[in-house]
Amino acid sequence: MNPVLEITRPSVCLLTVFGMVVGLLLLNLPYGVWILPLISAILICAAGNVINDCFDAEIDKVNRPKRPIPSGRLSRKAAFRLYVILNAAGLFAALFVSPPFFALAAVNSIVLYVYSARLKKTILGNLADTYLAVSVFIAPVLIKGGFYNILGSPLLILAVIPFFANYGREILKDVEDAKGDRKSGARTLPIVFGKSRAMRLARAIIIISAAALFAPYFKAVFPANYLIFAALGASGCIYVASLNDAPKMQKCLKVLMFYVLAVFLAFSI
Inter-residue contact 219 to 154 (CB < 8 Å): yes
We report the CATH number of the domain holding residue 220 as 1.10.357.140
Report the SS3 class of residue 41.
helix
Inter-residue contact 81 to 91 (CB < 8 Å): no
Is pLDDT at 60 greater than 90 in this prediction? no
pLDDT reported for residue 8: 96
d(CA 160, CA 179): 31
CA-based nearest residue to 56, from 151, 141, 125? 125
Q: How many domains does the chain have?
A: 1
Which amino acid, one-letter code, is at 112? L
Domain housing 57: 3-268
pTM: 0.88
Is pLDDT at 1 greater than 80 in this prediction? no
Q: What is the pLDDT of residues 214-252, one digit of tens each?
A: 999 999 999 999 999 999 999 999 999 999 999 999 999
10 vs 72, 223, 238, CA distance in Å? Answer: 20, 32, 27
Inter-residue contact 176 to 246 (CB < 8 Å): yes
d(CA 119, CA 65): 22
Report the SS3 class of residue 223.
coil
Q: What is the pLDDT of residues 147-196, one digit of tens each?
A: 999 998 999 999 999 899 999 999 999 998 888 878 778 888 999 999 99
